[in-house]
């Protein structure tokens, strides 16, 4: 999926869209997406001036967006307006910094599926080196009125 297809699957828009493309997607199983980290990202203005590092929480958000694409595509909900909401994050570990110029690989797989609630395992990496990993839970629901 290129960025145009990603925009059809996710409600996120710049500056919070953190998935640039999907390299591989196996419905009901896993996804490999990519975020091209550039120096122009808004968060680098303050994190940290002179030593830019992508915040760990945004790495987790990028993994969650990849998981949302996996869930929306698996359930054939693209274009329905359904949203994927974070419910919990477990075991988050940050292993290495992510700096401008990196291609951040986002690999997420389903761990559990229950009606509208899903559990995922995610790992972010740069050049094969894990930068962040966690398990998280999300639910699919209608947007607030």
Taking the domains of the chain in order of start, what are their residue ranges? Answer: 3-141
Residues forming the active site: 47
Half-sphere exposure (Cβ direction) of 119: Cα atoms closer than 13 Å? 9
The pLDDT of residue 144 = 87
Residue 86's pLDDT is: 92
* Sign for the pseudo-dihedral over CA of 140, 15, 58, 20: positive
Tens digit of pLDDT for each residue in 25-71? 999 999 999 999 999 999 999 999 899 999 999 999 999 999 999 99
Q: Look at residue 89 in the predicted model and tell me its pLDDT.
A: 97
List alpha helices for the chain, DSSP H. Answer: 3-9, 56-74
Structure tokens at 50: 């002179």
pLDDT for 116 equals 85
Instruction: Output the pTM of the full model.
Output: 0.96
CATH architecture of 3-141: Roll (3.10)
List pLDDT tens digits, range 78-110: 888 889 999 999 999 999 999 999 999 999 999
Quickly state the pLDDT bin for 117 (edges 50, 70, 90). very high
Res. 131 pLDDT band, cuts 50 70 90: very high
């Amino acid at each position: 999926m290129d960025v145009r297809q990603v925009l059809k699957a996710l409600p996120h828009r710049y500056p919070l869209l953190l998935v640039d493309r999907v390299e591989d997607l196996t419905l009901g199983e896993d996804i490999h997406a990519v975020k091209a980290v550039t120096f122009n990202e808004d968060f680098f203005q303050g994190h940290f001036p002179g030593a830019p590092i992508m915040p760990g929480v945004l790495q987790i958000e990028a993994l969650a967006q990849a998981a949302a694409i996996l869930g929306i595509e698996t359930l054939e909900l693209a274009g329905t307006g359904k949203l994927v909401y974070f419910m919990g994050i477990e075991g988050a570990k940050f292993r290495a910094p992510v700096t401008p110029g990196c291609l951040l690989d986002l690999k997420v797989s389903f761990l559990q599926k229950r009606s509208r609630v899903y559990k995922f395992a995610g790992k972010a990496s740069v050049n094969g080196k894990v930068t962040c990993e966690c398990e998280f839970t999300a639910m699919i629901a209608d947007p607030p009125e």
